[in-house]
Amino acid sequence: MHQLRRNRRLRTTESIRSLVREHTITPNDFLVPLFVVEGKNVKQEIASMPGYYRYSLDLLKIEVNELWTMGLKAVLLFVKVPDDLKDNKGTEALNPDGLMQRAIKTVKDVAPEMLVMTDVALDPYSSYGHDGIVEDGYIVNDPTCEVLAEMSLSHAQAGADFVAPSDMMDGRIMAIRELLEEENYKNTGIMSYSAKYASAFYGPFRDALDSAPGFGDKKTYQMDFANRDEAVKETLMDIEEGADIVMVKPGLAYLDIVRDVRDAVDVPVAVYQVSGEYAMLKAAAEKGWLDHDAIMMEQIIAFKRAGAHIIASYFAKDVVKLL
C-alpha cells in the first residue's frame, strides 16, 4: 500500500517549511511598553523584570531612538509617579506639565513619526493604587470615567496618537470618545484594554510603577479569569462605544480569548504579553532550565497564531534582534 498523503513532505527542509509557514513576525507587530521616571540620567533595572528599565526623560530619548532605528514604531507609555503627587482622584494625571505629558512630547521630539500610545488608568496616580476613584472602599464607576476622559484629552493635547484605557470601568470608551470628539481630537485613537482579567501576572509591573493596590484587589472591575464568553461581550461593547483597537490581557494563558475575540470582531486585535510572563521566562532562563530565545519566539508566534494583529511585549527588542 502506498500512502497518498504524506504531511512530512512539507517539512523536509527549512526552505519548504518557510514557504508554507502560516505566521511570521516582523517589527511591525510590536508595541513597546516603556516605563518613565522623574530625574536625570536614570536607568533603573526593575528587580522582577531583569533586563527591563525605568528611564528618565533624557535617557528615554536614547531608548526611543534605538527603537526607531530597529524598526519598532509604536510605544506604550507608563509613568512612575512620585508618592507625594498621588491622591484619590489622580489629580496629577491631568497636569499638562506632568511626567506623562512631558514623556509624550519627549518621544515626539526624538522620533516624530513614532506612534505614541499612553496608558489611561488612575493606579499610578492613586494613593490607593486603584484604577479608579475610591469611595467607602468601592471603586466608583461614573466619576472615574469622567477623570479618565479628562486624562485622555490631556494626553491627546500633549501629542499622543492613541490613548489606551486599561481600567475596565463600564462606559469609559464612550466617555473618552465623546470628549475627544467634542474637543476636536477626532484622529486620536483608542486602544481599549477590552478584555482585561484580574491577574496575578501583573505583579512585576506593579513593582515597576509602585502601583500595587493598597487595599483589596481589582476583582470588582477587572474580569474573572474563569470567564470566556464575557470577554466577547466586553469587547463588542467597547467597539460600539468607539474603540479602534481592542486588546486581550494577559497573553499566554488567554490564547483562547484572543481567538474568540479575533473571530468576533472586525477591528485590529492586540494582545499584551504582561510583566509576569516576561519574568517567568527570564527566571527559567537564568536558571538554565529553558532556552530563552527559542521559548520567546515560540510564545510570540503563538500570539499571532491565536489571532493577534498587535503584540505588546517587553521582549520586542530581543525578538527584533533575532529576526
Q: Is 287 a catalytic residue?
A: no
| Set 86, 218, 249, 317: catalytic member | 249
Chain residues 122-161 in contact with ligand PBG, contact rule CB under 6 A: 123, 131
Q: Is 61 a catalytic residue?
A: no
Task: For residue 270, give Cα distances in angstroms to 179, 248, 256, 304, 309.
Answer: 24, 6, 14, 10, 6
For the CB of residue 276, give the shortest distance to ligand PBG in the complex, in Å. 6
Our CB check for ligand PBG shows the closer of 243 and 274 to be 274
Residue 316 CB-density burial (10 A; 0-12 exposed, 13-18 middle, 19+ buried): buried
Our CB check for ligand PBG shows the closer of 131 and 161 to be 131
260 forms part of the interface with ligand PBG (CB under 6 A): no
Our CB check for ligand PBG shows the closer of 55 and 202 to be 202
Interface segment toward ligand PBG; rule CB under 6 A; list 88-96, 98-106, 183-191, 199-207? 199-207
Interface segment toward ligand PBG; rule CB under 6 A; list 94-102, 115-123, 137-145, 259-267? 115-123
Taking the C-alpha atoms of residue 62 and residue 212, their distance in angstroms, rounded to an integer, is 29
Our CB check for ligand PBG shows the closer of 65 and 88 to be 88
195 forms part of the interface with ligand PBG (CB under 6 A): no
Task: For residue 232, give Cα distances in angstroms to 119, 121, 194, 311.
Answer: 22, 22, 9, 19
| Set 86, 196, 282, 304: catalytic member | 196
Taking the C-alpha atoms of residue 165 and residue 243, their distance in angstroms, rounded to an integer, is 10
Other CB atoms within 10 A of residue 75 CB? 27
36 forms part of the interface with ligand PBG (CB under 6 A): no
For the CB of residue 292, give the shortest distance to ligand PBG in the complex, in Å. 18
Which stretches of the chain bind ligand PBG, using CB under 6 A?
A: 119, 121, 123, 131, 166-167, 202, 205-206, 218, 274-275
